[in-house]
Amino acid sequence: MNQTNKLYDAREYAESKKLPFREAVEWHTIKRLVGDVRGLSVVDAGCGDGIYSRRLIDLGAQRVIGIDGSQDFINQANLKNGGYEGRINYHCSLIQDSQGDGTNDFVLGSYILSYPKSLEEAVRYCQAIASHLKTGGRFVGFNNNPLDIFRGTRYLSKYGLQKEMQGNTEGWEVIYRVEGMKDIIRNYYLSPETYEEAFRQAGFTHFTWVPVELDPEVQDRVFWKEFFTGQPPFIAMTAEKS
C-alpha cells in the first residue's frame, strides 16, 4: 500500500495476508529473491502493517525502515512492533516522495510499482527507490503482472482473489477484489518495456522479470493449477543500482 488517501481498510488488508496466494506464492517468491539478509540494512517500501518488515528482521536483517503512504497502516505497524523496537522504524510518506540517504543494501517493494500510470510517474518511483540504495544495492519487487493481459474478469475466487482489466493500454485500471475486503484495490497497467525504461532512467542495471513460484512444500498442487494457467496475475522483478 502506498497512497496518502485512505483507499481501503488497513485491518482488512492486513487480514488478507492470510489468504492462500499470499503465503504460498507471494511470500515464497519474495523470500527466495531476497536471499540471505543477515546483517543487511533494508527498506520495506509500501510496508503496510509491517508484516514483511518483521519477517526480514526474523531472517536476520540488521535494521528495516518501513515506509507507507497511509497513516492507518503505519499505526497498525507500530502497534505490532513489540519486540522489534530499535530494529524497525516506520515512516509515513508516499514512496515517490521519499528521499533516502543512499546507505541501504536493498529495497523490498510489494506492489508499489503497480500504482504509476505513466513512464514519468514510474521514473519518479524508481528514482526514489534508488535514493535509498547504496551503489550495487538491490531492488526486489512484487507486482501486477504486465504480461497477464485480457479483457474482463479472471475469477480466482478459490484463492481469495479476482482480477479485472480491459487490455494493455498504458495507464488503464487493473482492479483487484480480495476476499474479506469491502473496497477494491486499484492498480494501473504499464507495459514491460515502460517498467524497464523507468529503471534504466533511474540508474538501475540488470533489471530482470522473475516468474512467481509456488512454495514446494505445498502439498495440493492441483489446487494451484488455475492460478498458474497462462500468465499468473502477479510477477516479481529485480534490479541493481549502478
CATH of residue 212's domain is: 3.40.50.150
The residue range of the domain holding 215 is 10-145+191-220+233-241
* DSSP-derived secondary structure letter, 184: P
Q: Rounded CA gap, 204 and 227, in Å?
A: 31
The reply to whether 153 falls in a domain is no
The reply to whether 179 falls in a domain is no
The reply to whether 172 falls in a domain is no
Backbone angles phi, psi at 31, to 5 degrees: -60, -40
Predicted confidence (pLDDT) per residue in 203-214, tens digit: 999 999 999 999
Answer whether residue 47 shows pLDDT above 50: yes
Q: Taking a C-beta distance cutoff of 8 angstroms, is the pair 80, 13 a contact?
A: no
Predicted confidence (pLDDT) per residue in 75-117, tens digit: 999 999 999 999 999 999 999 999 999 999 999 999 999 999 9
- Number of domains present in the structure of the chain: 1
**What's the Rg (C-alpha) of the chain?**
17
The reply to whether 201 falls in a domain is yes
The CA–CA distances, whole Å, from 141 to 152, 223, 237 equal 26, 26, 5
Exposed/middle/buried for residue 205 (C-beta within 10 Å: 0-12, 13-18, 19+): exposed
Answer whether residue 138 shows pLDDT above 70: yes
The reply to whether 131 falls in a domain is yes
